[in-house]
Structure 1
Amino acid sequence: MPRVLTYVLILLAVIAVALFFLPLRLAVGWAGLEETGFSAKTISGSVWSGRIKGAQLGPFSLGDLDAGLRPLPLLTGQVLMDLERSPAAGDPGLVATVGKAGNRLLVQDLTTVLGLGSQLAPLPASAIELQTVSISFAGGRCQSASGQVRVSLDANIPGLNLKQGLLGNAECQDGVLVLPLQSGSGMEQLTLKLQGNGFYTARLSLSGSDRAWTLLLPTLGFRKVPDGYAIKVAGQLAR
């Protein structure tokens, strides 16, 4: 018996060492990131503590991230990976947990600011701020969503104060991720909808009848609606 126990202990030690040195690139696949349009310039280190450089999620740059698997969720069949980019001057940083539980893709407690660039053009949205946002998708359908979202607009439109952006909470509607956002006055509303395959729609409506809008807003892509002006765009997140 002592000899058998010795062999078992040696085997367990070998397995533990092998697990410790598994490359982080394997964990990226286990966590389902490759199913979401995730890419990176380099991935180094072990599954428990590694580094992802030049991370990109579809059209969004995530920068250089520290990454590592959580060991305890593995015991329940979940693969959860913590991602972090420390704050710096002009950079709010990023924290999130991503992974898989069965057939569900998970994003938990995501906090960061993403530059939109021209992704929603001609809609004048420049950045999206996410505060403890959690989302679950399964079979391409949104299962649950929560957390605060703020979209910054860079349009200079007379009669509107959009400096604080449009604010709201993430939610699921009929399998679609929906971000219903509005300004403090409620006169400006933006509804973003994202499907599991990356297709999105975004509609920005401005309530009011400022005389200057008659000439300005049509040149920006807005059209007249009964209570003001609106612009709608649709497309697919680039990968």
Structure 2
Amino acid sequence: MSARRRWTVAAALFALLLLVATFPMRLALAWSGATDAGITARDVRGSVWSGELVDARLGALPLGTVRAALSPLALLGGDIQLAFSRTDDRLGALAGRLHGSNPRGVSEVNGTTSMSGGLGMIPVDTLRFEGTSVQFDAAGKCARAAGRIQLAVTAPIAGLDLSRGLSGPLRCANGRAQAALASQSGMERLTLSFDGKGAYRAQFAINVDRDPAMAAALAALGFRAGSGGFVLTTSGRF
């Protein structure tokens, strides 16, 4: 190979490396499937290796401003994987990985996010992830679900203390991701299931233990008496 040809090849490789190193995160989000997975942001800054998503959201879940970077090791294995993290004194820490290839979803998520609007009629304030992984196949069916989630419910009912939230494990059930959550006392239970498009169903059951005042308060909030206590069922989309 002549010296001129070697210089041409070297220049081409350098240009390719420069392009890869400075590839905009904004374009990478669309390419990685992040937008299809429900990731949006008011502004996207930086490169694919060191970017920032300003006022990011996962569907209806606010993530705040997060740092994001494409994983080169995952690319070598044929997986499009975006690591994200947030360090915020007000919102708290949040970190995890977004998978854009099949199956799509998130993995190893830890931290807290708020839930504006709650779960329909169920007044959920915050959602906490504990090693949470949820991934769906191309048909939108649950392919993997692991870890735990915790919901903080702010029900304004005298005698009902849910300050420590309801928590439980995630699993796949009938093609949907499902979490069976319970309070520490076990008197309050919430079953939440959702598909790959973010459509959810939730059932909140409370055992009133023969407390007529609480039963009346729950009925006023839309709960219906059932065999497992008073139950409120709702559905919607994240």
Q: TM-score, normalised by structure 2?
A: 0.92
Q: Tell me which amino acid in the other structure corresponds to 1:68.
A: A
Distance of 1:54 and 1:150 partners within structure 2: 23
> Which residue pairs with 2:93 in the alignment?
93
> Which residue pairs with 1:56 in the alignment?
57
- Aligned residue for 2:193, secondary structure, equals strand
> Which residue pairs with 1:152 in the alignment?
152
Structure 2 residues not aligned, in runs of 5+ = none
Aligned pairs (5 A) from 1:31-180: 31-88=32-89, 90-101=90-101, 103-139=102-138, 140-180=140-180
RMSD: 1.6
> Which residue pairs with 1:197 in the alignment?
197
Aligned pairs (5 A) from 1:21-40: 21-40=22-41
Contact 1:66 1:83 (8 Å CA) reproduced: yes
Distance of 2:179 and 2:59 partners within structure 1: 19
Distance of 2:114 and 2:122 partners within structure 1: 14
Distance of 2:158 and 2:211 partners within structure 1: 8
Q: Tell me which amino acid in the other structure corresponds to 1:106.
A: G
Q: Tell me which amino acid in the other structure corresponds to 1:218.
A: A
| Shift in alpha-carbon separation, 1:136–1:227, aligned structure 2, 3 A | closer
Q: TM-score, normalised by structure 1?
A: 0.92
Deviation at 1:2, TM superposition (A): 4.8
Distance of 2:223 and 2:34 partners within structure 1: 36
Aligned pairs (5 A) from 1:3-22: 3=3, 4-22=5-23
Structure 1 residues not aligned, in runs of 5+ = none
Aligned residues: 235
Distance of 1:193 and 1:183 partners within structure 2: 18
| Shift in alpha-carbon separation, 1:227–1:48, aligned structure 2, 3 A | closer
- Aligned residue for 1:212, secondary structure, equals helix
Distance of 2:6 and 2:126 partners within structure 1: 59
